[in-house]
Copies of this chain bind each other. A is one copy, B any other.
Amino acid sequence: MNTVADVVTTGGPHLAPLLARVEAHLAGLAADHGGALSDHAAATIAAGGKRLRPLLVLLAAGGADGEGLVRAAAAVELVHSATLVHDDVLDGADLRRGRPTVVATAGRAMATATGDLLFARAIGDLVRNGDADEVRVLSAASSALARGELLQRADAWDASITVERYLLRCELKTARLFEAACRLGALEGGADAATTDGIGRFGRRIGLAFQLLDDVLDVSGPAERTGKHRGTDLLDGTVTLPLLLARERDAALRAIDLRAVRTPAQAEALCDAIAATGALQDARRQALGIVAGAKADLPSELPAGQRRALDLVADGVVARYA
């Protein structure tokens, strides 16, 4: 299933040209630094991705289509890109979306500065909308992203963390930027405060489910779909919901020291042990419940077409797993 294409078809004839304007705006921002400086930033943006967050911005805005909306959608994607560039530095990742990463091409220093530049440009461009609320929303989400990253590193290798702590990390790392995307769209669409809150809550829950299912995929594979070996998180010391739930069910798993899991083969064996407990179904059910709640609680005053498109995005998040 191609979520973006389906949503664009369903969401209305204004969406495809709007998404094209977001792409053009992103390309313009990347080119705006003059000469060689922009190469890495431009390559990062051009490498693309699903553009799921900009799509949420556009959908949350209803039928709005002004320049401010395009800037907001681009800004969210820039913050997301900045995070990916920094994550790749920390993970020493060679490939992202099938292309060489900035850190692989240009080294840690250039990649760190490129991430900083993308982030600064996101805020610097959004502020042109002249709406302090919007800048507040995006910078709060950026703070949350950094705090989530800090939390993940602080908890590394610790399999005794609570599920609540894991969920907090997912909120910070992923859900808050989804929420910000929805809030920015709602603000640009002229929604009132209650509707903006409601759409924001939808985004937050969709983002949370997105992260949970991502973490399930890391354990379940298949590697052909994810582009990574199973158990990459485990090898990084990142403890996620499947392991936490599996430990509740299996004393042998509670006894495992994650630092002893060092090879891809050992990680795959641990993934199999986690799957054998039924923890993957549990985690997946939890994510599906979150998505169902998000859809059910969408503000009732939204037009049917907007609601249908947002529902489709929610379904698309789930369908990543199927």
Contacts from A to B (Cβ < 8 Å): 33, 36-37, 40, 86, 89-90, 106-110, 112-117, 119-121, 123-124, 127-128, 130-132, 135-136, 139-140, 142-143, 145-147, 149-151, 153-154
Contacts and interface: CB of A to CB of B under 8 A. Distances in A.
A149 B113 contact: yes
16 contacts: A36-B154, A37-B147, A37-B151, A86-B112, A110-B153, A110-B154, A113-B150, A114-B150, A116-B145, A120-B139, A121-B143, A123-B139, A124-B136, A127-B139, A128-B136, A132-B135
A135 B153 contact: no
B154 A142 contact: no
A123 B150 contact: no
A136 B147 contact: no
Contacts of A145: 116, 120
Number of copies of chain A assembled together: 2
Contacts of A150: 37, 40, 110, 113-114, 117
- Judged by DSSP, the binding face of A is helix
A26 to B, nearest CB: 15
Given A135-B127, A139-B124, A140-B124, A109 B146 contact: no
Contact of A146 (B108, B116, B142, B151): B116
Given A40-B150, A109-B153, A117-B150, 20 more contacts: A33-B147, A36-B154, A37-B147, A89-B108, A89-B112, A90-B108, A90-B112, A112-B149, A113-B150, A114-B146, A116-B142, A116-B145, A119-B120, A120-B142, A120-B145, A123-B123, A124-B142, A127-B132, A127-B135, A135-B135
Contacts of A124: 136, 139-140, 142-143
